[in-house]
Amino acid sequence: MSEEFAARRAGVRFHGRIEGKGRPCAEPGCEAPGEFRAPVIGGRRPGFDGPGDWRFLCLDHVRAFNNRYNFFDGMSTDEIEAEQTPYGGWDRETRAFSPNAGGGPRWADFTDPLDAIGARFARASDRDRVDGRELSEGDRKALKVLGLGKDADRRALRTRYAELVRRYHPDRNGGDRSHEKALQDVISAYTQLKGRPAFA
């Protein structure tokens, strides 16, 4: 290990220290250098619009700040619960994958990326319903399973579902369970579609 590397390594004793800026500690009356960044309470939080509001503290004051800092301060119980869920943040789409980014499809509706790319460049007239309500690619696949067109309404959906359940159910086929997979697909497709806005 070179002497220069050892000297540099010995100087970086605390993670997060920002040296050589010459700014004083932001705590009133403290003359120590402000070498550690801490968020401003009530200030702008770090996010998509930038790093947020920060102040710089000395080591002793940043330790005191960390001891009393509460990330959830000022949040409602619903906001706290949303932050603590294992999926916190995953429900928000980034701009690249949002439905409004260039009018493309939702990537999560596809299992094959090539299908998603093809759907992005498909003609809009082929995708639009007469009533103007939107369908995701998942909805379109579910309609295909049921053998329905993109303009099917709620009544057609229920009628077709009942027809296919009667066709594939073992009780209607003398106990024949060979159509069990098709029945599961039909039930899954109907369950997905019946709650969608296009079939309200």
CATH code: domain of residue 148: 1.10.287
Judge if 183 and 151 occupy the same domain: yes
42 in any annotated domain: yes
**175, 154: one domain:** yes
CB atoms within 10 A of CB 123: 7
Q: Do 140 and 123 have their domain in common?
A: no
Task: For CA atoms 8, 10, 16, 20, give the dihedral sign.
Answer: negative
Domain presence at residue 90: no
Give how many domains the chain has, as a whole number: 3
Same domain, 111 and 162: no
What is the model's pLDDT at position 4?
A: 45
Strand segments (E) across the chain: 36-39, 54-57
CA distance 111 to 141: 11
pTM reported for the whole predicted model: 0.39
pLDDT of residue 93: 53
Residue 193 lies in a domain: yes
Q: Which helix (H) or strand (E) holds 38?
A: strand 36-39
Q: Are residues 119 and 141 in the same domain?
A: no
| Claim to verify: residue 101 and residue 142 sit in the same structural domain | no
Look up tokens 């260039």; give the residue.
Answer: 102
The pLDDT value recorded for residue 17 is: 77
Q: Are residues 121 and 147 in the same domain?
A: no
Q: Which domain holds residue 101?
A: 97-127
Question: How high is the pLDDT of residue 130?
Answer: 77
DSSP state letter for 105: -
Q: What is the pLDDT of residue 197?
A: 80
Whether 78 maps to a domain, the answer reads no
Same domain, 61 and 13: yes
What residue ranges of the chain have pLDDT lower than 70? 1-16, 19-21, 46-48, 86-111, 113-114, 116-128
Tell me if 9 is assigned to some domain.
yes
175 and 120, same structural domain?
no
In a domain, 182, yes or no: yes
Of the three residues 68, 83, 114, the one that is the final residue of a domain is: 68
Helices (H), 74-132: 77-84, 113-120, 124-127
**Residue 109 identity:** D
- Residue 165: inside a domain: yes
